[in-house]
Amino acid sequence: MSKIDNSAVLSICKTVLVCGLVLYVGTIIYFNDSKCSSSDFFSPLKLTISPSNSQTNTLLSNDAKTNNATNISHLLFGLLGSEKAWHHRKSYVESWWRPNITKGYLLLDFPPKGDLLPWSINSPPYKISDDVPKLVEETKHVDPTVLRLVHGIMEVFREEHEGLRWLVMGDDDSVFFVDNMVDILAQYDHTKYYYFGGHSEFILSNYWYSFNQGFGGAGFILSYPLAKALANNMMSCLKRYAHLKAADRTTMTCIADIGVNLSPLQGIHQIDLRGDLSGFLSSHPKSLLMSLHHFDMVEPIFPSLDRAHSGFHLLNAANYDQSRMLQQTICHKRSNNWTFSVSWGYSAHIYEKIMPRSWIQNPIETFKTWNKSPNPPHYMFDVRSPSLDPCEAPHVFFFKSVEKTPRNEILTTYTRGWPRGIGACLSSGNYSAEYVSEIHVYSPATKRIEIDRCECCDVIHEAGSNKAEIKYRECLMDEIIA
């Protein structure tokens, strides 16, 4: 073979060797890249520039959260009750409990008997609390009732674990809005330590017990890692704080010793109030409604119904849209100088004057303090006094019915509670609303979870008609509700 032939062969061999080496190294890098999978390799859609590692991790994280979002199956409820009270309180719980869907237990002090048997399939399954006298002897606790309530957290926790993320403890005279609860908890990392709850509305209750505790009747919520830590430390803590005579404070103190403090949520309502709650419920704070406690301690929230039926009636609206429950929406009929305020699913008010939201959002003090309290401050929120001035006193309407329309809207209807009977607001032009007997409110069928701002609305009303229509809409960019 000639020198020329030898040189050509040598050149070809070098080229093949280099190409093979490049292909080998490229293959190693490609298949060791954590972003590549078999489906990526064979998909022509993946032949675009890949994002950075940090971008890819973020996308995967977001996908994981989306595909594994918190839902009702991730919540476990522990409801503390007594056999004696359950006879009249079970209707409160059955108004929101969903058999075979909601998970949890009712902890009773004694086995049910009499008309409680056979046990209702619409009630939570019950369990009897552990031997309280034995626990008192072991812990030397000064209050058996407090011990039973706090120890109940561990008793509920030990029953179920798989797939659960949040433990919700509450009383049997509370109404819970579970869909809202799920939507709020979905915003938090359930693998971390969280202790959610609400303050008392009565300022002295917080002063007497603690401004840092979640009032347990209305419900407090523990992430499962925190619930586990608390359960593991339960007996030690009950011994350590055997002198405390308040269950909620004991719970808060035990949790504080783990290194966790309360994260307050406005939608959890202890209802440390008395009497007529309509003023409070008609001006709910701008947050998702999660619970209403102390149904026994206030008048029925709907004047034409008793307490039991009031709970079912309220949940009838909630079953259509929990995200708007009690959310206050305000709009005006300027040709009449009227202001409308709607507490969705509960009430509607007409004022015979153009009123700003800053004034109407303060609840009318139709209610009384939890205990006698002669000197203010009484509440953890601003209030306005009831008035007989026709320019300040509203015409009051209450929720009557709800339905879905063919146009995919939700129609809630509100009917007059009683004649106002104090004349018209003359300074606004003598446009009396006394003849209006019914208000129809049309709202979107879609959820409205992120309440960064209230909704706005438009009023449709023909002069002399006894019906008014209100249509919800998103507020304009800089719209002033006044």
pLDDT band at 281 (very low <50, low <70, confident <90, very high): very high
Predicted pLDDT of residue 11: 54
Alpha helices in 68-185 (DSSP H): 83-94, 132-139, 144-157, 178-185
Our measurement of the distance from residue 269's CA atom to the centroid of its chain's CA atoms, rounded to an integer in Å, reads 10
The answer, yes or no, to whether residue 109 has pLDDT greater than 80, is yes
d(CA 146, CA 9): 94
What is the per-residue pLDDT across 71-102, written as a single tens digit (0 to 9) for each? 999 999 999 999 999 999 999 999 999 999 99
d(CA 359, CA 412): 25
- Of 209, 200, 206, give the one whose Cα is nearest residue 293: 200
d(CA 170, CA 249): 14
Give the domains, in start order, of the chain with CATH numbers: 71-269 (3.90.550.50), 327-473 (no CATH)
Question: Averaged over 115-122, what is the pLDDT?
Answer: 97
Name the pairing type of β-strands 438-444 and 467-473: parallel
pLDDT band at 62 (very low <50, low <70, confident <90, very high): very low
Torsion of CA 244, 247, 249, 253, to 10 degrees: 80
- Judge whether 342 and 173 are in contact, CB under 8 Å: no
d(CA 239, CA 151): 11
Q: How many CB atoms lie under 10 A from the CB of residue 46?
A: 13
Predicted pLDDT of residue 245: 96
What is the per-residue pLDDT across 374-417, written as a single tens digit (0 to 9) for each? 788 999 999 999 999 999 999 999 999 999 999 999 999 999 99
d(CA 207, CA 184): 28
d(CA 258, CA 254): 7
Question: DSSP character for 159?
Answer: T
Question: Averaged over 163-174, what is the pLDDT?
Answer: 97
What is the per-residue pLDDT across 224-243, written as a single tens digit (0 to 9) for each? 999 999 999 999 999 999 99
User: Burial, 464: exposed, middle or buried (Cβ in 10 Å; 0-12, 13-18, 19+)?
Assistant: exposed
The chain-wide mean pLDDT, for the chain, equals: 88
Q: What is the pTM of this model?
A: 0.85
Predicted pLDDT of residue 260: 98
